[in-house]
Each structure stands twice: as C-alpha cells, then as structure tokens.
Structure 1
C-alpha cells in the first residue's frame, strides 16, 4: 500500500509526487498513456531528424515557479535554452515589435523601435513588476487565499497604490494599450500574450495576463528544455524514482474508491485496486474527476449542478512542421524570436477572439508560432527549423467565415483545410514559407483529446481563464483550494487554482494540502487517544 496514489503523470502530478516523497511518503503514480508527461511531451513522429513538442513548448512559468525551482531538476538532466529574442509580432506596415530578455534590455528595445514615449511607458510597466516581485508570482501560485504573500504585496503598495493596482489588474489589454502607448506595436506584444489564454483584448483582466507573460519574458525569458519538452518530464520522473517513487504508464484509472466519505484507493481500467493510505492526488480535469472517477453519490448535490456550469477554454488546432530552412520573415527581427505572434493589428486580434467566442471559425486565424530550432539548436539539423503554429477554434462551430465550410467534424478534409488556412496566415508575413515544408502533422480537437483525455477538444488551460472561473471560483464557486468534498482526495490539475500553464503550482498545492491533512488527522487522533486515556484514568 502506498501512502499516496497520484492519478496522472503530467507536470502537476509529478511535482506533487516529488514533494510527497521528499516528505517521506511512499508514492505511486498511475498514468493512462504509454509515456509520462501529459501535455509536456516530445517525439520525432513528424520527421525522424526533427524533435517536435506535442503540445506545450515554452516554459516561462516553470522557470519562475517556486515549486519547480525547488526541485533542482538541473541535477537530473534538465537544461534550458533561449532564443536570441523572446517574442516577435510582425505588423501590417512591415515593422516588427520585439520583446527582449532582460529587465533593462526590454524597455530599451521598445524605445529603439517605437520612440522615447513608448520606451518610458514600457519602463513604467517594468518598474511595477519590480515593485511587486517576487511576491506577485508567489501569491499567484499559492493556495487561495494567499495570506502571507498577499500581506507582503499590500505592504509594498499601500492604500493608494493598491487601488491603482486593482484598476490595472482589471484593465482589458486593448484599453491598457490605448492608455500607455502612442504606437500600436507595444500593445500588440501584450495583446498577443493575453490571447495565449481564452481572453479577448476587450476582456477584463486580459491586460494583467498579457503583462504577466511579457514581464516574465523579460525577467526569466521563455525558455525551452534542451532536447525537447520531454526533457522536463524526464527530469521530474528521474528525480521522483531516485527518491523511491514509482511511475506506472499504460495504467488508466477508472474509479476513485470511496468508503465512509474518504478516498481509500483507486481502481484501474483492468480492475486492479491500488490502495492509498493517506491521499489520492488527481491530476485530471475537474469534469473527468467529478461524476466520472468519483460518482455523484459521493459528492454534494450542489457540486453536480455547479459542474454543469463548468466552462472549458477554447478548442485548439495545431500544425507541426519540419522545415528545410529558416522561416523567410519579411520583418527581419522575427528571425531572432522563439515565439512569433501572427495578426496584423489589434482589430484583427479582436475580430479573431470575438469570432471564436461566438462559434465562428475565423477566416484569418491568430497564430502562435514556435521556432524551436531557433530556441534550441538540438531540435533539427543545422540550417533547418522545427516549427509549429497553433490557433484556437470554437468548441462548437456554428459558422465558418472562411471558404472551406468547416463544421467541427474534423475529418481529414477539414483538418487539411484548416492547416492550409494557418499556413496562409504564415505566408502573409513570410512569403515562400510553404516551399520549405518537408513534413507536417495536424492536431485537431479530437486528436488532442485522443492523446490526452484531460485536453477536452484541445482545451489547453484546464478550463477558461475568464474571471468568472478563477481564484475562489475555480473550478466551481468556493472550491479554490485543492481539497475536495471527499476526504483524502485532492484536485491537482490545472482545473484547480491557479489554473493553466506548466508551473506545477496546482500539484504543489495539492501535495501540501495532503501533508497538512495528514498532520491534522494525526493531531486529532492523538488528542482523541489522550482524552480516552484521561477518561480511563
């Protein structure tokens, strides 16, 4: 019998398992797929000479995460690599906004491209980051409410500063760009970052999200693991197993066994029972856990009603390419960036997001493009490029604004048509791109879900990042902490606070909650035994 059973070997599950073995617990991790890592996986299936990240690639949150940094994964084979520039956004007029790594280099780069006024405005955003760090990241990643980090933030801001910070946190990124900059370029950098999540440029809070990713880019970069995303997973697994933890792949869990309102075991799809002495840690989506792995009879009636209101983030289509040479960007600065955002202007970004929200497939998809060999030369032969682009599409399609009649069935015809549409978006900014394609792979919403049941229709964030499902509202109202209505069961996936991204905080919070629950249970048991002895005496 293990002290804890972890369902899912994604980054959150592996972080949780590592923290539990550090505390002296015996831990078994059960992973449905034949390999660990969840969305943090790479392979050579596009082309044998090219390493391709299946889902996620760039990890600024991992580089900044106290949970992941505390594990010293560099001692287990992990090393990071950076592109010469963090991010580029080619513009309709041929110019290109670029985010440089470095707290001094970032504002200097903005000033050089867009003039002193915008350089000063970007410097102001950087100074706000300096004021709030490191407590801001600590408070974002801590269990809710973040009492210690929150009090420290309040002390730094004081009353007037806190009010202005609250307004800043609520700003839509489109409004933030209007208030701060004279040129559209710097605002496009922030807006593209905001659209990594399912936020519109006019959405409250999108300014904060975009600013957070941009400032992390300046401070820690958007690094990639040398050799592929799987290198991060391999380091987590190596650390865990070297401390006595066990990982079983090809072991899908069918049920969390509940007795007396407590999780006592899990049952695998082949009928095997795996007992858990103290805790079951679930690195699975909230809809997969509640009502599926845990029957509704073990949960409050209100939770069933709340889960019907759970909102996923957008669906995703991703195309991976093996390219015979570097992407021929018209705007030269884009050659230096690991990530390139593709949309001509703020209006195009707004139209794209609005179309997706309203169930329409955009004619011009906003693209997030990764130049992986630019970021890590080990990914493909010299002089070539391993690249990808993903875009969001509606989970339920009501109309295709392009010429292909996409319906959301995502058969071969629709997959190929969407891939061609995405390549046309690249061609707008890099004519001749299509001539470089040696091989490609298309991941549609059903394909994402087949790869990983937690990626419902390619939802990469574990649920919407919109304010109505964040903090104490994630995944349902009043469930911000990793504890669940079932004693000894903890939600460790990105469906829990603080949400999506490869940072391990959801897993770390679940592990600490399990340890606290065990200590609290031990204190209660000890107090009860002492009381019995006193009465007996």
Structure 2
C-alpha cells in the first residue's frame, strides 16, 4: 500500500509526487494516457524530422517557479533554450513591438512607436524588480500566503501603494493608455493578457498582462531543448530515482471515501489502489467534485458551487512543418519565439467580444510559436517547426465568418477554421502558406481526448478572471488544496494559483498532505517534551534528578 496515490501524471501531479517522495513517502502515480506529461508532451506527428509540442510550448512561469527550481531538473537532463528575442507583435503596416531579452532592446522598440515609451517601460520594469521576489513567493505558495503577502504589502507601499494596486486591477486597455503614448507598449501588455482568457476590457487584465510581460523580460519565454516532453522526462526520471511508481494507461474512475475520508481509488479495470495517507488529484475541479467523488459524499454547497464553475476559452491549435522561415513583413518578428497576431488592441477587443458572444471569430487572434527559432534541434536547418493557437467558444451559436461554422468540429469544420488561422498569419507574413510542407489540426475535442483536463480545449483549468482567482479558486471560500474529504487534495490547475506550467498547485497539495501527517507527530512530541519539562521542574524542587 503506497502512502499516497496521485491521480494524473501532468506536471502538477509529477511535482506533487516528487515532493512527497523527497520526504520518504511511497508514491504511486496513475495516468489515464499511455504516456505521462498531460499538456507537456511533444511528438513528430506533423512530419518526420520535425518536433512539435502537442499542447504547451513556452515556459516563462516554469523558469520563474521556485517550485521547479528546487527540484534541480537540470540534473535529470532538462536544458532550456531561448529564441534571440522573446516576443513580437507585428502590425499590418510593418511596425512591430518587440519584447527583447534585454530591457534596452524592448525600450528601443517602444520608442519607435512614441518617444518616451521606452522610459515608461523601464519604469514598469523597475516596479517589477522591486516587487518580484515577494510577488513570486506569494504567487507560488498556498493561499493565503501570509508571510509573502506581508512583505509584498510593505513593498507595494514603498512603490506607490494604492495607486500601484489600482494600476494592477485596471483593464489592460486602460493600463496601456495610462502608461504609453504609442501603440507598442499597449500591444505587448494586451497580447500577453490574452495568453489567458482576459479581454482588454476585463478587470485585472492589466495586472496579468504586466506580469506576463515582465516574466518574459526577466526570464524569457524558454523552451525545453528537444521538445516540451523533456520537462516531463526530467520529472519522471527524478521521481523514479526516489522510488516513485508511475503507471500509464490506468484510468481512475472513483475515489474511495468512507466516513468522510479518502482511502484510495478504483481504476477502470476494477482494481482498488489503496492509499495509506493521502490521495492527490491532478484533475479539474468539476471532474473531482461529483465525478471521481460521489455526489452524496460532498456538501450541497460544494455541488452548487461546482455548477457555477467557469472554464476558460476553448482552444484551437494548428501545427506546421515549414520549408523555410516565416516570411514576416515586419523584420522584428523573425527572431522572436512567440509572435502575437492581431492588428491592434481594437482587433483584440473585437476577437474577445466575438468569443464572448459565442461566435467563431472571423479574424482569430493567434499566438504563433517559432519553435526552431527558439530551439534549433526541432527541425532540419533552414526549416521551421511552427504552431499557432487561438480561442473559440465552448458553445457556438454563430460564425462571425462567412463559412457558417457551427462548432461541431468535424473534419470539414476543422479544415475550414485552420485555413482561417492561416489567412490570419498571411496578413502579417505574405507567402506563409506557400512554405507549408505539412500541417496538423488539434480542435477542442481532440485536445480533450488527448488530455481529459483540457475540457473542451480549455488550457488553464478554469477562467483567469478575478471572480475565480485567489479565495474564489476553484470555488468560493477555498483557495487551498484541501477538499471537504479528509486526506483528499486538489493538485491541478483548477486550484490556486491556476494555469501555467509552474508546479505550484501540485506543490501546494503535497505540502498540505505532509502538514496533515506530520503535525500530529509534532504535537505529540511537543506534549511529551512539555510533560518531561514539568516533571523535571518538580524533581528539581524535590532534590531529584530530572530524566
């Protein structure tokens, strides 16, 4: 009987398993798919010789994560690779905002849009540098992060207090307008906000856009050398070195709960897998509450809250094998690993509004990845392994385009919308389609079939909007990995602090399990020492020797 059973071998599940194994726990990880990694996997399925990341690709949060840093994954084969520039946002008129590896590079790019905007970027970066250590500690530790928050509050006061706090909760459109005279800085902030499901007018999107931009400025948008699965391989290798067990092709269908306590799990094959101390679930909140845990084992309020749980946007992805580099009209985009494709902030707003109205966008905002530019091992010299993803509604009521897409995402609709994504790339890179050697389409149902946590193609484990963050994530009044069932912990991106590959939800769940099972022993030891101290005091008064 293992001490802990971990459901799911995504990055959060593997981080949790590693931390438990570090403390001497025996751990068994059960993964539904035939290989580990969840949304951190790669293959050569687009074309031989071209490595394509199936889901996630660039990892600024992983580079910044103290959780992953402490695991020393470099000792297990992980190597990071960077593109010459972090990110670019070209416009159809040939101008291009660039986030460089150096602050001066970024500032020069923004000054080309409006004199003085480079200095404005440096000011935002100075604030980041003052807040960064405590902000990252607050972000990657269990909620509420009391110590980190106290230090962060002191730094906030020194950096402008309420005025700075106001800026961070602004919609990103407004933040960009207040900070920059030209369009360049506004584009960088707004495009980064849409890495989540935050429209330019959404409250808090300014803070998220600033955070992602500054992570890129400090850590870059690195990629694992050889493919995203190298990160998974390092986590798996480290776990096995510590005696952890990983079983793939093993789907968990139920958490065994008796008298309000999790005792283990049942697999789809009818196999019971007991857990001596804890069950950690790297699954979405809706999949856990009323799914793996029977509804009659949960409080009515939890079930009602789960009914209100909001997913982030659905995702549609296209992978390409290209015969040559992308023919960008704006030269500044050529050296960037990530390229944002929308012709201005207004077009970002238009796109987000169409998704909110449950329409398939006619001009989809695309995040474009140049993987060979970021890591030359990804394809033969002179070629490019590339991808783009965009967002679509979970429930489609109409098509903002002319093809009448309905959201059934059969083969015909997938091909039509993939063509629409390519047309968006062509607007900024004329001749792009002539360089396509092969392509692969991953529509929302395909993404979910490949990783059940990507419900309908949602990649962040639930919306990033303020109403489902902090103590509202995943449900109001939670914010921590503990669940209403003793010894059961939520270890997925549905838990605080949310999506992205950084390992914090898994680490928080592991720490919660460890605290629960070490606290009683520590309390018992303290009681014993106190008893001995008192006995010793009495003995000294009576002339006896204390034991």
TM-score in terms of structure 1 length: 0.97
Moved segments of 4+, more than 4 Å:
523-531
CA distance in 2, matches of 1:156, 1:104: 25
In structure 2, do the counterparts of structure 1 residues 428 and 302 end up closer, same or farther at CA, with 3 Å as the change threshold?
A: same
Rg larger in structure: 2
User: Where do 1:77-96 residues align within 5 Å?
Assistant: 77-96=77-96
Q: What is residue 317 of structure 2 aligned with on the other side?
A: 318
415-424 vs 293-302, which deviates more? 293-302
Deviations 1:121-149 (A, max 9, x none): 10110011011011111111111111111
Q: What is residue 33 of structure 1 aligned with on the other side?
A: 33
* Superposed displacement of residue 114, structure 1: 3.0
Deviations 1:446-498 (A, max 9, x none): 11111111101100000000000000000110110000000000000000000
Q: What is residue 539 of structure 2 aligned with on the other side?
A: none
CA distance in 1, matches of 2:305, 2:511: 26
Deviations 1:486-533 (A, max 9, x none): 0000000000000000000000000000000111243567799999xx
Q: What is residue 274 of structure 2 aligned with on the other side?
A: 275
* Superposed displacement of residue 298, structure 1: 1.1
CA distance in 2, matches of 1:78, 1:115: 41
Q: What is residue 535 of structure 1 aligned with on the other side?
A: none
TM-score in terms of structure 2 length: 0.95
1:129 lines up with 2:119 in the alignment? no
Contact 1:92 1:345 in 2 (8 A): no
* Superposed displacement of residue 159, structure 1: 7.3
Q: What is residue 9 of structure 1 aligned with on the other side?
A: 9
Q: Secondary structure at the match of 2:44?
A: strand
Q: Which runs of 5+ in 2 are unaligned?
A: 531-547
Q: Secondary structure at the match of 1:316?
A: strand
1:24 lines up with 2:24 in the alignment? yes
In structure 2, do the counterparts of structure 1 residues 449 and 160 end up closer, same or farther at CA, with 3 Å as the change threshold?
A: closer
Deviations 1:387-445 (A, max 9, x none): 00000000001110101111011001100000000000000011111111111110111
* Superposed displacement of residue 162, structure 1: 2.3
Q: Which runs of 5+ in 1 are unaligned?
A: 532-537
* Superposed displacement of residue 154, structure 1: 1.4
* Superposed displacement of residue 362, structure 1: 1.1
Q: What is residue 194 of structure 2 aligned with on the other side?
A: 195
Q: What is residue 161 of structure 2 aligned with on the other side?
A: 162
CA distance in 2, matches of 1:335, 1:149: 39
Q: What is residue 536 of structure 2 aligned with on the other side?
A: none
In structure 2, do the counterparts of structure 1 residues 521 and 489 end up closer, same or farther at CA, with 3 Å as the change threshold?
A: farther
Contact 2:9 2:36 in 1 (8 A): yes
Paired residues in the alignment total 533
Q: What is residue 299 of structure 1 aligned with on the other side?
A: 298
Q: What is residue 64 of structure 2 aligned with on the other side?
A: 64
CA distance in 2, matches of 1:78, 1:109: 32
In structure 2, do the counterparts of structure 1 residues 160 and 71 end up closer, same or farther at CA, with 3 Å as the change threshold?
A: closer
153-162 vs 408-417, which deviates more? 153-162
Q: What is residue 455 of structure 1 aligned with on the other side?
A: 454
CA distance in 2, matches of 1:272, 1:119: 61
* Superposed displacement of residue 361, structure 1: 1.0
* Superposed displacement of residue 108, structure 1: 4.2
Deviations 1:356-402 (A, max 9, x none): 01101111000000000000000000000000000000000111010
Contact 2:277 2:487 in 1 (8 A): yes
Q: What is residue 237 of structure 1 aligned with on the other side?
A: 236
CA distance in 1, matches of 2:399, 2:200: 22
Q: What is residue 487 of structure 2 aligned with on the other side?
A: 488
* Superposed displacement of residue 168, structure 1: 1.3
* Superposed displacement of residue 166, structure 1: 1.5
